[in-house]
Amino acid sequence: MIPLHRAFARALLFPRFFQPPIVQAALLHDHLLTGNESKWGWVVYRTAYANPPSADPFTPGITSYQTWALLQAHVTARARSALAREEEDDPAAARHLRNAMDWVFVEDRAALEGASREELRGRFRARREGAMREEIGEAPAEVGGDGGVPWKIPSAWYQFFLVVDEEAMASIAEGEGGPLDGNWVNLVRCDEEMEEAEEWERERSLGRGLMEKGWAEDGEGGEEGKEDEWRMRLAVHLVTHEFYYKIGGILENWYVYYQEPPEVLWY
C-alpha cells in the first residue's frame, strides 16, 4: 500500500496520475491493422503457488488461487474500463480493441512453480514463434521498407510477458488493483537486444567469442545484476492498452519507463 501522504504528494506533482490517460485507443488500433495483428494483450505466467502471507496473523489470508483469480479480474476489468473512457472519442477503435483483447493467463504448478526467467523466456519464444507465423507472416507490402520490402515494428505482445512470482503475488493479495493499492507484476523483456546479450553471456561463460563481439572481459554483459535490466515491476493499474502501446515498438521505449527493482513503475 502506498502511504497516504505520498499519494497526495503525487496527486500534486503528477496530476495525470489521477486523470484519464491520453487517448491511445486509435493509435493502438491503427498499429494492429498496419501490422496485420488480430489481438493485443500479454501472456501472464504464474510461478508462485504457495499462499501469500496474511497481514493479520490471527485471520486466515487469501489463498494463492484466490489471488490469481483476483489478478485476472483486475486486469480484464481495468483494461475494459480504460477502453470505455476512450469510447466517446473513437468508438470504432475502442470497440475493436475490446473485441481484440486477449490476456493469456498461464498456470501449471508442475511445470512453472519457481521457474527461472530463462525457462519462461524459452516457453514464451516458442509461443511467440507460432503467433508470428500465424499473425504477421503475411504482413502487407505497404507496411513499408526500402524497395517495398515488408517490415513492421512489433507490438508489445512480441517483446514482453508478465510474471507473477511470490513477491508479486503478495502485493496483489494486499490490495484491490487500484493506483494506490501497491499491486504489481513483473514485466519481462524478451526482445532482440536482450537475446543478443544472453548469447554474449553464454559465449563469455564458455570463454569464446569475446574478440568477435568486440567487448572486454569485464564489459557490459558481465556486470553484476545485469539480469535485472531485462525486467521491471509494473503496477497492475498500468496493465491496460495505454501502456501496452507506449512500451511496445522501438527498444528505446523500455528505457523511458524502466525502474530498477525493487522500485515499481507506478505512473
Average pLDDT, integer, range 166-186 = 82
Residue 7 domain-assigned (yes or no): no
Counts for the chain of helices (H) and strands (E), in that order? 11, 6
**Confidence category of residue 144, pLDDT binned at 50, 70, 90:** very low
Distance CA(267)–CA(256), nearest Å, equals 12
pLDDT exceeds cutoff 90 at 145: no
Report the candidate in 107, 68, 114, 88 with the shortest Cα–Cα distance to residue 26. 88
Rounded mean pLDDT, 188-196: 76
User: How high is the pLDDT of residue 137?
Assistant: 57
DSSP classification of residue 22: P
Round to whole Å and give the CA distance between 96 and 34: 14
pTM: 0.76
Average pLDDT, the chain: 77
Assess if residue 181 is contained within a domain.
yes
Give the three-class secondary structure for 44. strand
| pLDDT-derived band at 24, boundaries 50, 70, 90 | confident
**4-8 LR contacts (CB < 8 Å, sep 24+):** 7/180
**Number of domains the chain is built from:** 1
How wide is the angle at C-alpha 98 spanned by C-alphas 107 and 191, nearest 5°?
Answer: 55
Mind listing the pLDDT tens digit for each residue in 45-96? Answer: 999 999 988 766 666 778 999 999 999 999 999 999 999 999 888 999 999 9
Q: Which domain holds residue 133?
A: 22-138+156-193+234-265
Ordered alpha helix ranges (H), the chain: 4-13, 25-34, 64-86, 91-100, 109-112, 117-135, 166-173, 192-205, 210-213, 241-247, 252-257
The three cell numbers locating residue 73: 479480474
Residue 181: pLDDT band (50, 70, 90) is confident
Decide: residue 107, CB within 10 A, 0-12 exposed, 13-18 middle, 19+ buried.
middle
In this prediction, residue 12 carries a pLDDT of 46
Q: Is residue 243 in a domain?
A: yes
- What pLDDT score was predicted for residue 252? 84
Query: Quick check: is 12 in a domain?
Result: no
> Considering the domain boundaries, does residue 104 fall inside one?
yes
pLDDT at site 53: 83
| pLDDT higher at 210 or 152 | 152
Q: Is residue 58 part of a domain?
A: yes
In a domain, 206, yes or no: no
Q: What is the mean pLDDT of residues 157-181?
A: 84
Domain assignment present for 205: no
What is the pLDDT confidence band of residue 131, given thresholds at 50, 70 and 90? confident
All three cell numbers of 192: 532482440
Q: Which residues contact 247 (CB under 8 A, 6 or more apart)?
A: 156, 159, 160, 187, 253, 254, 257
Q: What is the pLDDT of residues 204-254, one digit of tens each?
A: 566 544 444 443 344 444 444 455 678 999 999 999 999 999 998 887 889
